[in-house]
């Protein structure tokens, strides 16, 4: 009977320790949204606002963006008769009040002819993925990734990035 009690206590202890260990990494995950404005009427700089969507170590931040998005050589593919332009390897550095966050992204753009008359006046939309490359300040040691959506690619051009960041 004593052996059963000792085995049961050992099993309960092992389950508790495993649960606590498994909860550690999950507690460091934080869902965030990053809104970006690359060219907005009346604004001279490209800006971002990072907003935590769940509680965690990161606080709301805002600042400016530097990027190489427009210098990436795109490639075109056809998907079910629609041309898709892929930009892979774009890097953006967000410099905020709380540090810098550098991300790399891949986006797929489709062009929408505004009035269908072929005059070249197009709007564009894109979806893609992004991942953290490095960070300083509150972003030091952060890893993570997510998805993004863009509208514009000209002036105005807006983007929203959502994902999960993990404090290592």
- Give the separation between CA 126 and CA 112, rounded to whole angstroms: 11
- Give the separation between CA 50 and CA 144, rounded to whole angstroms: 14
Going along the chain from its start, the domains and CATH numbers come out as 28-167 (2.40.350)
Give the DSSP letter of residue 14.
H
Give this prediction's pTM: 0.77
Q: What is the pLDDT of residue 119?
A: 58
Q: What is the pLDDT of residue 71?
A: 85
Q: What is the pLDDT of residue 17?
A: 39
Q: What is the pLDDT of residue 7?
A: 39
Q: Which parts of the chain have pLDDT scores under 50?
A: 1, 3-25, 27
Q: With contact defined as beta carbons under 8 Å apart, do 99 and 138 qualify?
A: yes
- Give the separation between CA 64 and CA 41, rounded to whole angstroms: 16
Q: What is the pLDDT of residue 132?
A: 97
């Amino acid at each position: 009977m004593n052996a059963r009690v000792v085995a049961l206590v050992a099993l309960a202890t092992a389950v508790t320790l495993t649960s606590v260990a498994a909860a550690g990494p999950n507690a460091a995950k934080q869902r965030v949204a990053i809104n970006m404005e690359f060219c907005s009427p009346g604004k001279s700089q490209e800006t971002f606002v990072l907003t935590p969507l769940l509680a965690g170590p990161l606080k709301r931040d805002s600042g400016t963006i530097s990027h190489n998005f427009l210098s990436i050589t795109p490639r075109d593919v056809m998907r079910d008769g629609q041309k898709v332009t892929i930009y892979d390897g774009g890097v953006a550095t967000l410099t905020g009040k709380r540090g810098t966050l550098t991300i790399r992204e891949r986006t797929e753009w489709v062009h929408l002819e505004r009035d269908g008359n072929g005059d070249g006046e197009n709007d564009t939309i894109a979806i893609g993925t992004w991942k953290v490359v490095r960070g300083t300040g509150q972003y030091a040691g952060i890893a993570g990734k997510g998805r993004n959506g863009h509208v514009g690619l000209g002036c105005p051009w807006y983007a929203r990035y959502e994902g999960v960041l993990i404090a290592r």
